[in-house]
Amino acid sequence: MALATLQVASAWCPFAGRRSLLQAAAPAPLPARPTGPDPSNWTMLNYDFYTAGLPENACPSFQNIVKKEVAKATVLDSLTPAFLLRLFFHDCFVMGCDASVLINSTLLNLAEKDQTKSFSLNKFNVVDDIKTALEVACPGVVSCADILAAAAVECVEQSGGPHIDLAYGRRDGLESFAAAAATYMPGGFLRVQGLIESFQMAGLDEVDLVALSGAHTLGQARCSEFIQERFISPGSNSFRDSDYGLALQSYCAEGKNLGLDRKVTLDSNTSTIFDNGYFQTLVDGRGVLTSDNDLTLDNRTAPLVQLYASDQNAFFTAFAASMRKMSKIGILTGTQGQVRKKCYVRNSVDVVKSPNSNTEFSPISPTICKPAPQVDQKCDGT
């Protein structure tokens, strides 16, 4: 495949493929919206938490505000859904779905967002915008953990994916550790056995692994994340679509010569539409990351890849179920944690009432975060 034939989305994002909303099938009628407590009664989550629960939890405009802010951000940057969805994944896999990924580092502690695996995370500012709007509409009610969850499923739907109802009532964590991100977040270099073990640690199974990997239909990777794994030696090419692999290798090498760590889409078909194009990419031998490509080679996961590549409805159904499952990992509810006033710093904790509280994340300094590459990251103590 000659480089000239590869479709380029922008100067820095190749292999994006076609983007035609006309390709999307007419949406199926939505099932009846679930109501009341989450069937997993241990979670204390509720589908009506902000609409028909306790008066102090009332925020009927919650989901409409999330919908509006996500749409507004996506108009400004079509990659917004991919980034917000990835934020939710990182949050849930590291210390549970408690918005710990949003907390800034302090003078005393390096937080999750400043760990090496997190440097490509983005759109913290969109979460802040949603929180600001919600604090005007219903102050002190909606947690940042619920904002991340709602924004993730909204991104999926607005990108052409399935409608996913989640139960709410999560509370925000009080701490965040870079070491936890290093330990629990699965990397793109893992093979299926390592991925299965990582997902099992989070209470997820092999079906969840493959279904949730489908979020890579909106994903990207930098050349530095895969080039050494996929091209072990000069002239080697582990892509089953060898022409694609050679073009990709050339593209990354050219970027390196220019001092650039270029980005590549993980769905070579429809990279800004949430569909089953990612699985078709894998079946076509174009899986970019080792963790993606290996799903097609292991008999525990390959049949599911084939199924989702040929049946988008099957993928959507499985993805929705796995998202609901993932959204309950390690959650805080009831009186646990807190509802942060600002998502990037925890509220003050009364050390007299809570003498065992970790003080490393108290807002004690006018400059509480370690500078990170994201231009939209907050770095103030207000």
Which residues contribute to the annotated binding site for heme b?
A: 216
Q: In this structure, are residues 97 and 330 in contact, taking their beta carbons and an 8 Å threshold?
A: yes
Chain Cα centroid distance, residue 36: 27
At 134, list the tokens: 């919600």
Cβ neighbors of 190 (< 8 A, separation 6 or more) are 198, 290, 291, 294
Q: What angle do CA 339, 345, 351 make, to 5 degrees?
A: 75
Chain Cα centroid distance, residue 277: 18
C-alpha span between 337 and 202 (Å, rounded): 20
Cβ neighbors of 185 (< 8 A, separation 6 or more) are 90, 93, 94, 117, 118
At 302, list the tokens: 């390959």
Is the Cα dihedral 169, 175, 178, 180 positive or negative?
A: negative
Residue 338 has φ and ψ, to the nearest 5°, of -160, 175
Q: Which ranges in 10-143 belong to alpha helices (H)?
A: 62-76, 80-93, 124-137
C-alpha span between 343 and 69 (Å, rounded): 16
Which residues contribute to the annotated binding site for substrate?
A: 186
Cβ neighbors of 312 (< 8 A, separation 6 or more) are 25, 275, 276
Tell me which of 86, 90, 170, 171 is the catalytic residue: 90
Name the DSSP class of 296.
G
Which residues contribute to the annotated binding site?
A: 91, 94, 96, 98, 100, 112, 186, 216-217, 267, 270, 275
Q: In this structure, are residues 174 and 346 in contact, taking their beta carbons and an 8 Å threshold?
A: yes
**Closest-CA residue to 316 (of 275, 284, 347, 354):** 275
Cβ neighbors of 42 (< 8 A, separation 6 or more) are none
Q: For this structure, is 90 an active site residue? A: yes
Instruction: Report the chain's C-alpha Rg in angstroms.
Output: 21
User: In what helix (H) or strand (E) does residue 178 lie, and over which residues does it extend?
Assistant: helix 178-184
Residues identified as active-site: 90
